[in-house]
C-alpha cells in the first residue's frame, strides 16, 4: 500500500508541470506577431496596392534602399525586416484566453496593429502614396474534442477539437493620395460566423498546436481565414514560452458614400510570447 501511494505521488509530480495535467484549465497568452503585409484597396476610381514581407520573390534590399519617392523593390525576405531595416518591421499584438473542461473548449482572442506608417504604397499603379491600414480582430469560439488518442504510458496525447463561433473585424484605411484633391479616410466594422479545427499534440512538457478556421465560409462578399501553428514549452507550473507562425487573410466588399470599396489584405509572419496556466 505504501508503494502504491509512493508511485501515485511520483506520477503526480511527473505530470504536475506538463501539459498532461488536467487540473490547469485556464490559459492566458500574450504573444507578439511580426507579419509581412500584402494587400490592395480600391475605392471608386482609386486603387492602392503594396507588398512587404515574407511572400516568395525578390527580397527588398535593406542595404541600398530605393530612391526617395519610390516604393520598395520586392519584399520577399522577412530577414530584411528583422535584422537590417526598421522600415519594414511591424508589430501586431495578440491576446488569447482559453478554458478547457473535459472535451469542451472556450477560447477568445484579439489582434490589433497597424501597417503603412512608413511603407510606400503605389497609387493607381504609377504614383507613390503614403497610406496606413489599422485593424482590430476579435474572435470567440466554442469547441468539442471529437478525437483523442493517448499512448499506453500516458506521456503523449493527441486531441482534435472542432469549433464554431464568431469573428468581428474593425479596420481603418487612410491615405493622403499624392497628386489628387482628396484623401481616403475610411473605417468599417463587420462580423462573421467561423468554423474551424484545432489539433493539439502533447509530448510531456511540449505542446504542438495547429488551428485553422474560415469565416463566412467564403459564400459572401466578406470573408476571412486564419491559420496558427505554435510550439509551446512548459518551463514551470505557471508559465510556458511559445513560438509559431500566423497567417491571416481578409476580403471585404462594400459601399461607402455611393462608392464601391474593395479590400484584400494578407498578413503572415512569426510570433512569440508567453502563456500563463492556472
Sequence spans of domains, the chain = 28-277
Burial class (CB in 10 A: 0-12, 13-18, 19+), 204: middle
How many angstroms separate the CA atoms of 169 and 182, rounded? 26
Least confident range of 54-63, 65-74, 90-99: 54-63
pLDDT digits (tens, 9 = 90+) for 2-16: 444 444 444 444 556
Q: Phi/psi class of residue 152: alpha, beta or left (left: φ > 0; alpha: ψ in -120 to 50)? A: alpha
Greater confidence (268 vs 232) lies with: 232
Q: Enter the C-alpha cell of residue 109.
A: 482572442
pLDDT of residue 125: 67
Q: Specify the DSSP element, H or E, that contains 79.
A: helix 78-79
- 28-277 adopts what CATH topology? Lipocalin (2.40.128)
Greater confidence (124 vs 189) lies with: 189
pTM above 0.85, yes or no: no
Residue 198 has pLDDT above 50, yes or no: yes
Mean pLDDT of the chain: 78
The mean pLDDT of 101-127, rounded to a whole number, is 79
In a 3-state reduction of DSSP, which class is residue 78?
A: helix
Q: Note the helical H segments in 102-178.
A: none
pLDDT of residue 11: 47
pLDDT of residue 200: 94
Residue 187 has pLDDT above 70, yes or no: yes
The mean pLDDT of 59-78, rounded to a whole number, is 45
Residue 83 has pLDDT above 60, yes or no: no
Q: Enter the C-alpha cell of residue 25.
A: 484549465
Greater confidence (48 vs 252) lies with: 252
Amino acid at each position: 500500500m505504501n508503494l502504491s501511494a509512493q508511485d501515485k505521488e511520483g506520477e503526480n509530480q511527473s505530470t504536475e508541470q506538463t501539459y498532461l495535467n488536467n487540473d490547469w484549465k485556464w490559459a492566458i497568452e500574450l504573444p507578439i506577431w511580426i507579419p509581412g503585409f500584402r494587400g490592395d484597396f480600391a475605392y471608386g476610381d482609386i486603387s492602392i496596392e503594396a507588398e512587404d514581407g515574407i511572400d516568395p520573390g525578390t527580397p527588398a534590399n535593406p542595404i541600398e534602399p530605393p530612391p526617395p519617392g519610390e516604393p520598395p523593390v520586392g519584399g520577399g525576405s522577412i530577414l530584411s525586416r528583422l535584422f537590417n531595416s526598421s522600415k519594414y518591421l511591424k508589430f501586431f499584438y495578440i491576446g488569447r484566453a482559453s478554458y478547457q473542461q473535459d472535451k469542451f473548449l472556450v477560447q477568445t482572442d484579439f489582434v490589433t496593429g497597424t501597417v503603412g506608417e512608413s511603407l510606400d504604397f503605389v497609387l493607381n499603379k504609377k504614383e507613390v502614396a503614403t497610406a496606413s491600414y489599422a485593424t482590430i480582430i476579435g474572435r470567440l469560439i466554442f469547441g468539442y474534442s471529437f478525437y483523442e488518442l493517448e499512448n499506453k504510458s500516458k506521456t503523449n496525447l493527441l486531441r482534435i477539437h472542432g469549433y464554431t463561433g464568431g469573428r468581428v473585424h474593425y479596420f481603418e484605411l487612410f491615405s493622403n493620395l499624392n497628386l489628387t484633391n482628396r484623401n481616403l479616410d475610411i473605417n468599417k466594422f463587420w462580423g462573421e460566423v467561423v468554423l474551424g479545427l484545432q489539433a493539439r499534440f502533447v509530448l510531456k512538457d511540449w505542446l504542438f498546436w495547429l488551428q485553422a478556421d474560415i469565416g463566412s465560409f467564403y459564400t459572401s462578399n466578406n470573408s476571412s481565414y486564419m491559420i496558427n501553428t505554435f510550439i509551446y514549452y512548459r518551463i514551470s507550473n505557471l508559465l510556458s514560452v511559445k513560438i509559431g507562425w500566423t497567417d491571416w487573410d481578409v476580403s471585404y466588399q462594400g459601399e461607402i458614400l455611393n462608392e464601391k470599396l474593395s479590400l484584400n489584405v494578407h498578413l503572415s509572419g512569426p510570433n512569440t510570447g508567453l502563456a500563463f496556466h492556472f
